[in-house]
C-alpha cells in the first residue's frame, strides 16, 4: 500500500507533509495517524529543518477530521482511544520546535481544523470551508479545538462557532483571524512555501526560542511571560549565529546561519 502521508524535502531546510487520502477527504484514519506520527518523529531527528508545511492532497479537502467509517461499530472505549490518539498526534504537531504552516487547500472540519489550529500559521485557499461541527454529531471538539480556537479568535466567537456547528468560508475565517492569509487553489502551496522560505532564512535557534516564548508566554500572565521571553533570549546570546549576524551587518552582507 502506498504511503498516505507524504514527506517531502523541498530544500535544505523545508519539509512539506501531505495528507494523501483524497478519496476519503484526507480523513484521520488510524493508519494515517501512524504515518503522521512517523513524519513528526522524523522531523525531530533532522536538525537542519527550519520550517514545516502541512497540507492535503487534492483540492476538495485539507482534512475532514476523524474517519467516521472507522468509528462505526466501535465500543465507547474504542471511540475514546481513537479520539485520544488524534489529540495526542495534534499535540505532537504543536510541539514541533520549528515554525509550522497549515496550507488549507480545501475543507477543514472537526479534527482537520484542530490540526490546522495546532500549526503556527494558517494559509487558506479562497474556496476552503472550515468549522468545528462536532456538536451537530452529538459530541464536542476533542483534539484541542475548544482550547486553541478560543485562544486564537476570542471566547465569544469560538463559542458561537462551536455551539452552532457553523461551517464558514475562507473569507470569514480570515475576517475572524482564524487564518492569517488567503490564497488561490493554484498558488496556495507556492504561497505557503514562499512564507516558509522567508522563515528558513532566519537563525534556527532564534526561531525555536521565539516560538517557545510566544507559545508558553501566552499561557500565563504578562510578568511570567516576560520572564519566559528573557530566558528564551538568553538562549540565543552564546550562539555562533548571533555573532555571524553582527559580522554580516558590519560587512554589509546577508548572514549565513548554521544553527549553532
| pLDDT beyond 80 at 72 | no
Same domain assignment for residues 108 and 218: no
> Taking 60 as the threshold, does the pLDDT of residue 12 lie above it?
yes
Burial 31-59 (b: 16+ CB within 10 A, else e): ebbebbbebbeebeeeeebbbbbbbbbbe
Q: Which pLDDT score, from 0 to 100, does residue 53 have?
A: 98
Asked if residue 70 and residue 23 are part of one domain, the reply reads: yes
Enumerate the active-site residues.
Answer: 114, 134
In the structure grid, which three cell numbers stand for residue 130, read together? 472550515
For range 137-150, the mean pLDDT: 94
**Do 48 and 103 share a domain, yes or no?**
yes
Which pLDDT score, from 0 to 100, does residue 68 have?
A: 76
Q: Do 48 and 175 belong to one domain?
A: yes
What is the reported pLDDT for 2?
62
Contact predicate 111/82, CB 8 Å: no
- Residue 184 counted as domain residue: yes
Residues 224, 196 share a domain: no
- pLDDT at position 78, please? 81
d(CA 239, CA 258): 10
Q: How far apart are alpha carbons 74 and 118 in whole angstroms?
A: 27
pLDDT, mean of residues 130-142: 94
State the angle between helix axes of 76-94 and 30-45 in degrees (0 to 180), rounded to the nearest 10: 30
Residue 14: inside a domain: yes
Asked whether residue 67 is assigned to any structural domain, the reply reads yes
Is residue 58's pLDDT more than 50? yes
Over residues 233-252, mean pLDDT: 93
**Contact between 53 and 122 (Cβ < 8 Å):** no
Q: How confident is the model at residue 75 (pLDDT cuts 50, 70, 90)?
A: confident
The CATH number linked to 208 is 1.10.12
Give domain status of residue 257, yes or no.
no
Look at residue 258 and tell me if it is in a domain.
Answer: no
- In this prediction, what percent of the chain has a pLDDT beyond 90? 88
Report residue 180's pLDDT band, with 50, 70 and 90 as the boundaries. very high
Domain count, the chain: 2
Shared domain check, 223 and 182: no
Q: What is the pLDDT of residue 79?
A: 85
The mean pLDDT value of the chain amounts to 94
Q: Are residues 132 and 218 in the same domain?
A: no
- 226 is in which domain, residue-wise? 204-250
Query: Domain check: are 96 and 216 in the same one?
Result: no
Q: Which three cell numbers stand for residue 138?
A: 452529538
Tell me how far CA of residue 142 lies from CA of 166, 177, 178, in angstroms: 17, 22, 18
> Quick one: average pLDDT of 61-66?
93
Residue 1 has pLDDT above 50, yes or no: no
Phi, psi of 16 (to 5 degrees): -115, 125
In the sheet that holds 14-19, the strands lie side by side as 5-9, 14-19, 51-56, 100-104, 121-125, 181-183
For residue range 193-240, what is the model confidence (pLDDT) as tens digits? 999 999 999 999 999 999 999 999 999 999 999 999 999 999 999 999
Q: What is the SS3 assignment for 122-160? A: EEEECCCEEECCHHHHCCCCCCCHHHHHHHHHCHHHHHH
User: Which of 75, 57, 62, 83 is CA-nearest to residue 2?
Assistant: 57
At residue 128, does pLDDT exceed 80? yes
Closest C-alpha among 139, 127, 133, 129 to residue 108: 129
Within this chain, do residues 48 and 149 fall inside the same structural domain, yes or no?
yes
**Which is higher by pLDDT, 209 or 74?**
209
Beta-carbon contacts of residue 142 (< 8 Å; ≥ 6 apart): 83, 86, 87, 134
pLDDT band at residue 192, thresholds of 50, 70 and 90? very high
Distances (CA, A) of 136 to 5, 94, 165, 168: 29, 26, 6, 15
Amino acid at each position: 500500500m502506498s504511503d498516505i502521508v507524504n514527506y517531502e524535502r523541498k530544500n535544505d531546510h523545508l519539509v512539506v507533509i501531505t495528507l494523501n487520502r483524497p478519496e476519503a477527504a484526507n480523513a484521520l484514519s488510524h493508519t494515517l495517524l501512524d504515518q503522521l506520527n512517523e513524519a513528526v518523529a522524523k522531523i525531530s531527528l533532522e536538525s537542519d529543518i527550519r520550517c514545516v508545511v502541512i497540507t492535503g492532497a487534492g483540492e476538495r479537502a485539507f482534512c475532514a477530521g476523524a474517519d467516521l467509517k472507522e468509528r462505526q461499530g466501535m465500543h465507547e472505549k474504542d471511540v475514546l482511544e481513537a479520539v485520544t490518539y488524534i489529540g495526542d498526534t495534534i499535540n505532537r504537531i504543536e510541539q514541533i520546535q520549528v515554525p509550522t504552516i497549515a496550507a488549507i487547500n480545501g475543507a477543514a472540519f472537526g479534527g482537520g481544523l484542530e490540526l490546522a489550529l495546532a500549526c503556527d500559521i494558517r494559509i487558506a485557499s479562497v474556496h476552503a470551508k472550515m468549522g468545528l461541527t462536532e456538536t451537530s454529531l452529538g459530541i464536542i471538539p476533542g483534539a484541542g479545538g475548544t482550547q486553541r480556537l478560543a485562544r486564537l479568535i476570542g471566547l465569544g466567537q469560538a463559542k458561537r462557532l462551536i455551539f452552532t456547528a457553523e461551517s464558514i468560508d475562507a473569507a470569514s475565517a480570515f475576517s475572524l483571524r482564524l487564518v492569517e492569509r488567503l490564497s488561490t487553489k493554484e498558488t496556495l502551496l507556492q504561497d505557503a512555501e514562499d512564507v516558509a522560505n522567508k522563515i528558513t532564512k532566519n537563525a534556527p535557534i532564534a526561531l525555536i526560542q521565539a516560538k517557545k516564548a510566544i507559545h508558553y508566554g501566552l499561557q500565563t500572565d504578562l510578568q511570567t511571560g516576560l520572564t519566559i521571553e528573557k530566558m528564551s533570549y538568553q538562549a540565543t546570546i552564546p550562539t555562533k549565529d548571533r555573532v555571524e549576524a553582527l559580522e554580516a551587518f558590519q560587512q554589509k552582507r546577508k548572514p549565513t546561519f548554521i544553527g549553532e
